[in-house]
Amino acid sequence: MRTGDIPACDVEKTQGPPDERAFLGELRAKQRAQEAYYETCAGQATRPMSNAEILAELFSYHPPTPETLPKFQAINQAAKNFAEVILQNCPPGADRSDAIRKVREARMTANAAIALNGLSV
């Protein structure tokens, strides 16, 4: 492989980008979406959210939408694939169990980031 080449991704399993241009395009699209979200929020709100409002939003249910569902599915599939790799390659024990637990935690946190669209305290 030459310097600067991107290794091939297993797109089906990891949902990784097939090339650098696709990755950069996706990154730019996410940045535009986030900017649009903040512009929309700024247009609707006359004041910043209070801590109580932020907490109410952080601890409310955010059902999947047509926009978020494919993102949730990609995160879930990638986490499941990684958990399978851990099970196939690590001997049974506390560390393997902890690794699976942390993959689940990372999956849940990533899905929360999608559902909350960047909202944090």
Band of pLDDT at residue 6, cut at 50, 70 and 90 = very low
Residue 83 CB-density burial (10 A; 0-12 exposed, 13-18 middle, 19+ buried) = middle
Q: What is the pLDDT of residue 16?
A: 53
The dihedral built from the CA positions of residue 50, 56, 58 and 63, taken in this order, carries a sign that is negative
The 10s digit of each residue's pLDDT in 26-85 is: 666 666 666 665 565 555 555 788 899 999 999 999 999 999 999 999 999 999 999 999
**Residue 17 pLDDT exceeds 80:** no
Q: What is the pLDDT of residue 118?
A: 86
Q: What is the pLDDT of residue 86?
A: 98
CA distance 18 to 41: 33
119: tokens are 């909202």
Q: Is 49 helix (H, G, I), strand (E, B) or coil?
A: coil
Q: What is the pLDDT of residue 5?
A: 45
Where exactly are the structural domains of the chain? Answer: 16-48, 62-121
**Residue 3 pLDDT exceeds 50:** no
The 10s digit of each residue's pLDDT in 90-120 is: 999 999 999 999 999 999 999 999 999 988 8
**Residue 7 pLDDT exceeds 50:** no
